[in-house]
């Protein structure tokens, strides 16, 4: 139903805009980015807990119960984010969480001209490398870049970068994994 889809789209855009605008007013770009990080973690938690997402969307709870539940579950999150999530739960829109997250990232890029690039390495980046990565990604993406640095020893070496849903994997572990697959296929034909 196109009308319904349009309404959903507008709802998603409204939640995302409110979130970005409120965050920006409360603390500028840093606050927007801080809420972005929290939102990402919350999304990951919700996706991996089927019971939680079901409860947030369940019509067997009253809107008030869902709102209270959301407030309690996300109590440690930033109050702006926690309140938006509580309203989503109250209005039965919690299933739109993934779409709101996408829309939030788009809004962030549009309003602040900023793209967040997640960089994962084995050792901490030095200033020189940080500058090289920022210059390169800014040139490629055409926006200002904010790096989110993560340390993950399991990469063994190399670098893993992701931005806008795309991932560039130049880690040693994935090269080794690729080598393992090639050698495995050429010795047993991938027999299963």
Partner 1 sequence: MTEITAKSIDEALRKQLDALGTSVESREVGTVIQVGDGIARVDGLKDAMAGELLEFTNSEGQTVYGMAQNLEEDEVGAVLLGDVTAIKENDTVKTTGRLVEVPSGREMLGRVVNPLGMPIDGKGPIKADGTRPVEFKAPGVIYRKPVHEPMQTGILAVDAMIPIGRGQRELIIGDRQTGKTAIAIDAIINQKGKDMICIYVAIGQKASTVAGVVETLEKYDAMDYTIIVNASASDSAPMQYIAPMAGAAIGEYFVYNGEDGKPAGPENKGRAVLIVYDDLSKQAVAYRQMSLTLRRPPGREAYPGDIFYLHSRLLERAVKMSDDMGAGSMTALPIIETQAGDVSAYIPTNVISITDGQIYLQTDLFFQGQRPAVDVGISVSRVGGSAQVKAMKQVAGTLRLDLASYRELKAFTQFGSDLDKATQDQLNRGAHMTELLKQGRYNPMPVMDQAVAIYAGGHGYLDSIPVEDVVRFRGELLNYLHASKAEIFDALNKEQKFTDEIETDLTAAIEAFKLQFAPSA
Q: What is the DSSP letter of 59?
A: T
Residue 102 as a binder of partner 1 (CB under 8 A): the answer is yes
Nearest to 117 by CA among 181, 166, 63, 185: 166
- Residue closer to partner 1 by CB (options 127, 186) is 186
Residue 187 as a binder of partner 1 (CB under 8 A): the answer is yes
Residue 169 as a binder of partner 1 (CB under 8 A): the answer is yes
Q: CA–CA distance from 154 to each of 6, 44, 157 (Å)?
A: 44, 20, 8
Residue 106 as a binder of partner 1 (CB under 8 A): the answer is no
- Least spacing, CB of residue 122 vs partner 1, in Å: 16
Q: Contact at 8 Å (CB) between 100 and 8?
A: no
Q: Cβ contacts of residue 138 below 8 Å, gap of 6+?
A: 144, 145
Q: Using the structure block, give the residue that is written with the tokens 């709102």.
A: 67
- Residue closer to partner 1 by CB (options 127, 188) is 188
Q: How far apart are CA 11 and CA 16, in angstroms?
A: 9
- Residue closer to partner 1 by CB (options 5, 128) is 5
Of the candidate spans 29-37, 64-72, 94-102, 141-149, the one that interacts with partner 1 by CB under 8 A turns out to be 94-102
Which of 132, 151, 156, 179: binder of partner 1 (CB under 8 A)?
179
Residue 189 as a binder of partner 1 (CB under 8 A): the answer is yes
147 to 166: interface string for partner 1, x by CB under 8 A: ---------------x--xx
Number of residues that bind partner 1 (CB under 8 A): 30
- Phi and psi torsions of 166, nearest 5°: -110, 150
Of the candidate spans 30-38, 42-50, 56-64, 124-132, the one that interacts with partner 1 by CB under 8 A turns out to be 42-50
SS3 162: strand
Nearest to 99 by CA among 8, 175, 1, 190: 8
Contacts with partner 1, residue ranges (CB under 8 A)? 5, 44, 47-48, 50, 98-99, 102, 162, 165-170, 175, 177-179, 181-183, 185-192
């Amino acid at each position: 139903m196109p009308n319904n889809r349009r309404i959903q789209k507008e709802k998603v855009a409204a939640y995302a805009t409110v979130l970005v605008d409120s965050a920006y007013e409360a603390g500028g770009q840093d606050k927007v980015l801080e809420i972005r990080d929290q939102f990402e973690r919350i999304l990951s938690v919700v996706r991996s807990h089927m019971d939680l997402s079901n409860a947030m969307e369940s019509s067997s709870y009253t809107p008030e119960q869902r709102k209270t539940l959301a407030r309690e579950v996300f109590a440690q999150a930033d109050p702006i984010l926690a309140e938006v999530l509580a309203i989503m739960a109250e209005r039965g829109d919690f299933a739109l969480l993934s779409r709101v997250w996408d829309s939030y990232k788009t809004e962030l890029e549009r309003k602040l001209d900023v793209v967040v690039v997640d960089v994962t390495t084995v050792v901490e980046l030095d200033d020189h490398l940080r500058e090289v990565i920022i210059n390169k990604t800014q040139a490629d993406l055409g926006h200002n870049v904010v790096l989110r640095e993560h340390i993950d020893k399991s990469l063994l070496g190399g670098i893993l970068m992701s931005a806008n849903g795309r991932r560039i994997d130049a880690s040693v572990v994935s090269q080794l994994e690729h080598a393992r697959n090639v050698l495995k296929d050429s010795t047993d034909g991938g027999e299963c």
